Amino acid sequence: VSGDGPIIVAAHAVAPREDYMTQWRSDLTWLADQCASDNVILAGDFNATIDHMSGLGVDGGTLGRCRDTTSASGNGGVGTWPTDIPAMLGAPIDHVMATPDWTVSGSIVMRTLDGSGSDHRPLVVQLERTAG
């Protein structure tokens, strides 16, 4: 209403299959570019772990200027995909990322919905506006 909220970007990068590697890298670069400005929150299926994003962060960010919120809150290694194996063996490819305008105060990878029909586990992340 006031125009003072964040830019929210819904992410879904193409899967890194052999025929789509160029597009996958391009998708990750595009997502990194979305974090070039202030006050940005990216969320969704990145089809990439933070290791895959190596070299795409700037100014201390994981992807562009955005930082991975689940890593910052101690849940970065919990697998979000696939749901048919234990979360500790899965790949953390779903993310909520935010520019330094936001501080993560908590996160959880929800494991109680594994049988609900999706092959991804939902993330719940609590963000607070950074003072300043």
Buried b (16+ CB within 10 A) or exposed e, 57-78: beeebbbbbbbbbbbbbebbeb
Amino acid sitting at position 73? S
Q: Report the CATH fold assignment for 7-129.
A: Deoxyribonuclease I; Chain A (3.60.10)
Whether the full predicted model's pTM is greater than 0.85, yes or no, is: yes
pLDDT exceeds 80 at position 112: yes
pLDDT at 3: 76
List the domain boundaries for the chain.
Answer: 7-129
Confidence of residue 132 (pLDDT cuts 50, 70, 90): low
> Residue 126 belongs to what H/E stretch?
strand 123-129
pLDDT at 85: 97
Average pLDDT, the chain: 96
